[in-house]
Structure 1
Amino acid sequence: MNTAWMETADLAAGRGALGAGLVVAGVVVVALLIGMFVLGSRRVRKSEVHRPGPEEQPRMPEGGPVRETRERREPDEVPRSDERLLPHELNGHGTTGSRTSASQERPRWDENSSGAFGSGGPGGR
């Protein structure tokens, strides 16, 4: 009976050693994964374009800040044709074909209209 107890103790010790070995292997795998992540992120940081320093920042023009010009433009009419028009056949691209409008007043919504699409109302017309 004494030998059976010893065999059971040896078997339990073997299972404990196997369990401890699996835990150690798991810790090693996790440490390797963390190490590879750290090395990979360092490599990515080195390959990125560097951030500009204060001396490389854009400077304000000598004449001061540039202001935008707001003006209303007259629409350019699309020519009527029975055939399909290609983009290069249309008049001026962008603002080259349109003229400054005589009235520079901005269009406003009607007082009785919400101006929202899908509002359920009859609209401004």
Structure 2
Amino acid sequence: MLNVIAAFVGGMIVAGALVWAVQFGMRVRDRELPRPTADEQTHLPDGGAVHEIREVREPDEVPHTQGGERLLPHELHHASSRRSEDQHRKRWLPGKSGSFGGGGIGHA
């Protein structure tokens, strides 16, 4: 009988904690800023969606120093890659490359 009473009291404590947590969450939500309306949402530009540009990039080598001096950050390029002169996309050829264990014959 004592076990039943202990289980009932434990259940009431858990239920009370859940009720308190819900009420606390509602009070916090009431203090938050209101959600933006449909007019305040972002819209597409007048010209439509921005499209991505596909281009072949190649690594931009770090320039050699003059007279053994070290390079400073302002002497480096702003990007680690540059646009390739050859924009022809190299396609995968069957039997020439692939993943390890892909089942192909590999380089012949």
TM-score by length of 1: 0.54
Larger fraction in strand: 2
After superposition, give the CA deviation of every residue in 1:34-86 in whole Å (9 maximum; x if it has no partner): 221212322343355543321111111112222222222343123457x8x67
Contact 1:72 1:104 in 2 (8 A): yes
Aligned pair count reads: 104
Q: Percent identity?
A: 38
Larger fraction in helix: 1
Task: Provide the alpha-carbon RMSD of the alignment.
Answer: 3.9
In the alignment, structure 1 segments of 5+ residues that lack a partner are: 1-15
- Structure 1 stretches (4+) deviating beyond 6 angstroms? 18-21
Q: Distance in 2 between matches of 1:111 and 1:23?
A: 68
Tell me the residue number matched to 1:61: 45
Tell me the residue number matched to 1:37: 21
Give 1:29 shift.
2.3
Tell me the residue number matched to 2:86: 103
TM-score by length of 2: 0.60
> In the alignment, does 2:79 pair up with 1:94?
yes
Which letter maps to 1:69?
I
More displaced stretch, 33-42 vs 46-55: 46-55
